[in-house]
Amino acid sequence: MRLEDLGERRVLERVHALLGKPGVSGFDDDCFVSRDGLAVSIDSGPLDELSENAFEAGRKTIALNASDLCSTGVKPEYFFLSLSLPAKKEFAWVKRFFKGAQLEAGLAGGRIAGGDLNEGATYSIAGVGFTEKPLLRRNCRAGDRMVCSGTVGGAAAARLAKQRKVFRGCPAEFKHALDLPDPGYAFCRRAWRKARAGMDVSDGLAFTLHELARLSRVRVVVEELPVPRRLPAFCERHGWDLVEAATRFGEDYCCVFSGPFKDGFARVEKGKGVFLEKGGELIPLQKEGWEAFIG
- Spell out the residues 6+ positions from residue 247 whose beta carbon is closer than 8 angstroms to its own: 152, 153, 204, 205, 206, 225, 285, 288, 289
Is residue 294 predicted with pLDDT exceeding 60?
Answer: no
Question: Average model confidence (pLDDT) for the chain?
Answer: 90
In which domain, by residue range, is 279 found? 137-284
pLDDT of residue 292: 44
**Residue 124 pLDDT:** 96
pLDDT > 90? residue 146: yes
CA distances from 177 to 85, 122, 228, 233, 257 (A): 25, 21, 10, 17, 20
Residue 58 has pLDDT above 70, yes or no: yes
Instruction: Say if 222 falls within a structural domain.
Output: yes
- The CATH number given to whatever domain includes residue 43 is 3.30.1330.10
Q: What is the CATH classification number for the domain harbouring 207?
A: 3.90.650.10
β-bridge mates for residue 75, sequence order = 130
Q: Examine residue 158 and state whether it is found in any structural domain, yes or no.
A: yes
Query: Tens of pLDDT along 200-238?
Result: 999 999 999 999 999 999 999 999 999 999 999 999 999
Q: How far is CA 119 from the centre of its chain?
A: 28
How far, in Å, CA of 47 to CA of 82, rounded? 11
Both 118 and 161 in a single domain?
A: no
For 74-110, the pLDDT digits (tens) are: 999 999 999 999 999 999 999 999 999 999 999 999 9
63: confidence class by pLDDT, cuts 50, 70, 90: very high
* Rounded mean pLDDT, 275-280: 92
pLDDT recorded at residue 295:
45
Return the bridge partners of 258, or none: 146, 197
- Among the candidates 130, 147, 172, a domain finishes at 130
